Structure formats: C-alpha cells, structure tokens
C-alpha cells in the first residue's frame, strides 16, 4: 500500500525523504508512443533539475523495449520496463496494477501522465490505491522552495488558474494537457539504465477482454483527436448556422485535418462537436490553425495561440484574432472557406 500520513498543517511530511525522482508514464498504442509522453519529459527535466533528482520513465506494454531508448533520447536517464503480452491492449486493471507496483517499489516523488483518455482513466485508480492526491489537466508545473510540486490548471470553468499543492502524501501525481509543453530536443547519443520488472498477472486474472480496437481518428466529425492533429480548422460563431458547419468539415477533410470549435459555436449548437478549444476546453498546438469566424477572445486564444501558423478569417478587421494570427483574411467566412477548399482541390487535381 502507499503511505497514508496522519498529518496536521505545519507538520513535516512523514517519510518524504523515501520518495525520490520524477517519473513520466510513457503512453503507447501498439508500441507507438503518444507525443504527450515526450512533452512531459521536457517539463519533467525542469522539475528533476530543481529537485536534483533523476528523470525516469515507466514503459509498460507488449514488445515495447524500443521505447526505452526513445525515453533516453528525449532526456530520461532510467526506464522502468514491464513488457508482457497481457499489457498488449490498454485495460485499466493490469495497467493500474503495474503502475502501482512500480511506484510502491521505487517510490518516485512526482509522477506525470498525459491528460489523455488513457491517462485520465489510469490515474484515478492509481491515486486512489496509493491514497495520494491527483491534479488533472495541468497546463504548468513548477517546484516551490519546499520541494512541493506546484500544479497549475484552469478552475471554475476557466475563470481562474488554480495552483494546487499536495502537501501530505506521496507521490504527487499530475496529468498534463497534450501540447501544453514542447517536445524536447532529441539527443540520439544519450543512453541510460533499463530496470526490467515483471508482474505476477495473467490474462485469466483480468475481467475485461478487448474484442476489437476501433481507431476513432478515422471516425465521423468530431471524433478526431484534435490534440494530435497537425492541421485544425476551427468553426466560430461566425459560421452562423449548423448547415454551414459542413463547409468547415470539407476544408478539414481536404487538408487531412481535424475540426474544432469555439465555445460560442458549441453553445449555439452550430456544430456536432461538443468540446471546444480554449482555456476551459482543449489546448492545441497544431502546425496550422485556421480560425473561421472566431473573434479571438482571450479564453479561446489561450488554447491555440502556440500553434505554429494561425490563419484567421473574419470580416471584422478589428477582431482580436488578427492580433495572434500569422496570416489574416478579412472577408466573409461563408465565401472564403469554400474558395480555399476549391483551391486545395484544384491543386490536388493538378498533381
């Protein structure tokens, strides 16, 4: 079991010194790592330097040893590896048992996971089993003068940024939003230590069986994971009606991108997508973000302003979105968007 301290404010944390190291959980599907795992290594390196401890990863899966070397290349110095067929497809039970086993045995001070569907599914049981705190969906992490992890995330529907501290239990567990941090520079000369572990768990011990894996990135509108998309076409209230959403989808399809929305577009029922980009929604950092009829309210730009290239289409040249845009098109979105789609189609046809 994890350590549950009987603690009163102001008292020192018992057994704190037993917990050392910053750990990142490497999320993977069929051996393909989720980019957020490497993003976590960039903030993890900063935390480890401030705490003067090792930066490690946990790699759990089936035939995933190659992710150890990738962990080193992105900055980890040690990897805790559990590699067995029972971990082939993600299921909550074997994974949380494996993570808990490693944490119980090696006692890291800080554990970071991506705030993805998998990361969010996994952290709840892990934190519960270990009797420790969990801060979900962080956008910033830091260390204070008492070695405590400062976990910052939007709160109260994005009205404030709250910094949360877990003073009384270890490890301190956070999930971090994809694209909130940058992937660190690769250094292919780096190596490190692999700690191989095994667990006494077999297929018969697990109640849930995976019958089929459906790739939601090839699904219908809105199913695409916008946090992983290189190109995003975002519909704002300026698209005016739900019928016009089709032209946003067509442009996204033509560019091989994903569709996203502003909160106002979702609240007005203009889109079939139920989540939005922004401070109280999802943070994205695509290569190209095309904002269609989006005014550029601060709550929206907070979630997309780090995109590499931002193209804004708006008929109001005073719209704040133009302040964050790399390229601005002043015009009617209902004419400009189909025109771009036609142009892209023509370019394709010429090839």
Ligand X SMILES: Cc1cc2nc3c(=O)[nH]c(=O)nc-3n(C[C@H](O)[C@H](O)[C@H](O)COP(=O)(O)OP(=O)(O)OC[C@H]3O[C@@H](n4cnc5c(N)ncnc54)[C@H](O)[C@@H]3O)c2cc1C
**Span between the terminal Cα atoms of the chain, in Å:** 62
Q: Are 141 and 44 in contact (CB under 8 A)?
A: no
Residues 6+ apart with CB under 8 A from 136: 115, 120, 123, 153, 174, 175
Please tell me the total number of residues recorded for the chain in this structure: 351
CB of 261 to ligand X, least distance (A): 7
Q: How many helices (H) and strands (E) does the chain have?
A: 9, 17
CB of 140 to ligand X, least distance (A): 16
- Rule CB under 6 A: say whether 170 interacts with ligand X: no
Q: Which of 116, 172, 174, 262 binds ligand X (CB under 6 A)?
A: 262
Question: Closer to ligand X at the Cβ: 71 or 271?
Answer: 271
Q: Which of 29, 159, 246, 326 binds ligand X (CB under 6 A)?
A: 159
Question: Closer to ligand X at the Cβ: 127 or 302?
Answer: 302
- Rule CB under 6 A: say whether 161 interacts with ligand X: no
Residues 6+ apart with CB under 8 A from 12: none
- Rule CB under 6 A: say whether 182 interacts with ligand X: no
- Rule CB under 6 A: say whether 260 interacts with ligand X: no
Question: Closer to ligand X at the Cβ: 58 or 313?
Answer: 313
- Rule CB under 6 A: say whether 264 interacts with ligand X: yes
Number of residues that bind ligand X (CB under 6 A): 31
Rounded distance, CA 231 to CA 226, Å?
A: 9
Question: Closer to ligand X at the Cβ: 145 or 243?
Answer: 243
Question: Closer to ligand X at the Cβ: 144 or 316?
Answer: 316
Q: Is 273 helix (H, G, I), strand (E, B) or coil?
A: coil
* 331-350: contacts with ligand X (CB under 6 A): 332-334
**Which residue number has the CB closest to ligand X?**
278
Which of 98, 95, 85, 21 shows the shortest CA–CA distance to 57? Answer: 21
Q: Which of 19, 25, 38, 276 binds ligand X (CB under 6 A)?
A: 276
Q: Is 19 helix (H, G, I), strand (E, B) or coil?
A: coil
* 292-331: contacts with ligand X (CB under 6 A): 293-295, 297, 299-300, 303, 314-316, 319
Question: Closer to ligand X at the Cβ: 259 or 333?
Answer: 333
Which of 131, 139, 133, 126 shows the shortest CA–CA distance to 165? Answer: 133
Look-up of token digits 């739900």: 242
- Rule CB under 6 A: say whether 157 interacts with ligand X: yes
- Rule CB under 6 A: say whether 278 interacts with ligand X: yes
Residues 6+ apart with CB under 8 A from 6: none
Q: Are 87 and 65 in contact (CB under 8 A)?
A: no
Residues engaged in binding ligand X (CB under 6 A) = 157-159, 236-238, 240, 262-265, 276-281, 293-295, 297, 299-300, 303, 314-316, 319, 332-334
């Amino acid at each position: 079991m994890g350590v549950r301290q009987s603690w009163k404010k102001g008292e020192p944390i018992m057994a704190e010194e037993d917990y050392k190291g910053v750990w990142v959980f490497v999320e993977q599907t069929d051996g393909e790592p989720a980019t957020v795992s490497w993003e976590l290594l960039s903030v993890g390196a900063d935390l480890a330097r401030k705490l003067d401890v090792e930066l490690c990863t946990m790699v759990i899966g089936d035939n995933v040893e190659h992710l150890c070397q990738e962990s080193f290349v992105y900055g980890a110095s040690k990897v805790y590896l559990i590699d067995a067929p029972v971990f082939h497809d993600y299921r909550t039970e074997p994974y949380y048992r494996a993570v808990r086993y490693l944490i119980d045995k090696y006692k890291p001070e800080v554990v970071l996971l991506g705030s993805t569907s998998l990361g969010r599914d996994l952290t709840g049981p892990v934190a519960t089993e270990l009797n420790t705190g969990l801060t979900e969906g962080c956008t910033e992490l830091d260390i204070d003068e008492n070695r405590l992890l400062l976990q910052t995330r939007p709160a109260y529907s994005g009205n404030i940024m709250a910094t949360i501290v877990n003073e009384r239990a270890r490890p301190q567990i956070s999930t971090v939003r994809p694209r909130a941090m940058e992937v660190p520079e690769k250094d292919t000369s780096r190596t490190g230590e692999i700690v191989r572990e095994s667990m006494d768990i077999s297929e018969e011990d697990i109640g849930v069986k995976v019958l089929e894996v459906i790739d939601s990135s090839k699904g219908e509108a809105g199913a695409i994971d916008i946090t992983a998309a290189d190109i995003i076409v975002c519909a704002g209230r300026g698209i005016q009606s739900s019928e016009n959403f089709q032209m946003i989808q067509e442009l996204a399809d033509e560019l091989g991108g994903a569709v996203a929305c502003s909160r106002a577009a979702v609240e007005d029922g203009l889109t079939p997508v139920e989540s939005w980009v922004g401070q109280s929604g999802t943070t994205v950092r695509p290569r190209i973000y095309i904002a269609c009829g989006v005014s550029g309210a601060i709550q929206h730009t907070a979630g997309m302003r780090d995109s590499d290239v931002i193209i804004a289409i708006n008929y109001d040249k005073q719209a704040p979105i133009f302040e964050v845009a790399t390229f601005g098109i002043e015009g009617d979105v209902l004419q400009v968007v189909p025109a771009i789609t036609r142009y892209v189609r023509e370019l394709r046809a010429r090839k």
